[in-house]
Chain A
């Protein structure tokens, strides 16, 4: 079974902190994605990566950056966390026709 794991299920940070959200997949997929999910807004794509060290902005990249140093790992970085980044963050990796999602990280920024 494909496994996508995320470093934390729940995270609480303070405004201004630098936050790292880690995602690891075990199926050698080239494409990986970071989404955030908010009530009433659905899932929105933040960034995606189509290969190691390659990345592209999604629909809402502002306030975020990403890192893909190894194929299996895709990190989402909040350089200076703000309260409006309180959300559920979902990572996914893609086989040809299917995206596999991790369990999500619920981030609260106080």
Chain B
């Protein structure tokens, strides 16, 4: 699986957009970008994933650069409950021998301030 690089920590004011970057310069053509988050004392939670097009769901938006070497997770109106560790993961689509394994890096600690 391709390696990802994320900032160690970020701050965001409540109600503002939180933009979390991720570099994945060695991503290969069949690898997706996934984002998970982990709120303190809970298991990780899926947020969103994408291949090359930008994606949006009820939680967040995912912007992937044209060369696919980096991406940004956007939480449009951050709340205090969004304070968590955010993980960017790249891996092949589920199926084949990967069985959907995820390799978690260190992630970004996002702190949302009042």
Contacts and interface: CB of A to CB of B under 8 A. Distances in A.
Nearest to B46: A98
Interface in B56-114: 87, 93-94, 99-107
A94 interface: yes
Contact of B42 (A35, A42, A103): A103
A42 B104 contact: yes
Contact of A43 (B93, B100, B104): B104
B21 interface: no
A102 to B, nearest CB: 5
Size bin of chain A's contact surface: 20 to 34
Contacts of A84: none
Contacts of A97: 32, 49, 93-94
A97 B87 CA distance: 16
User: Which secondary structure dominates where chain B touches chain A?
Assistant: loop
A35 B36 CA distance: 15
Contacts of A90: 43-44
B25 interface: no
A96 B44 contact: no
Nearest to A59: B103
Interface of A: 4, 31, 33, 35, 40, 42-45, 48, 50, 56, 58-59, 90, 92, 94, 96-104
Contacts of A100: 46
Question: Interface range on chain B: under 10, 10 to 19, 20 to 34, or 35 or more?
Answer: 20 to 34
B101 A33 contact: yes
B4 to A, nearest CB: 11
A45 B99 contact: no
Given A31-B100, A42-B105, A43-B104, A101 B49 contact: no
A41 to B, nearest CB: 8
B99 A48 contact: yes
A78 B103 CA distance: 22
| 10 A-B pairs closest in CB distance | A101-B43, A43-B104, A98-B46, A94-B100, A42-B104, A50-B99, A101-B44, A31-B99, A90-B43, A42-B106
B43 A102 contact: yes
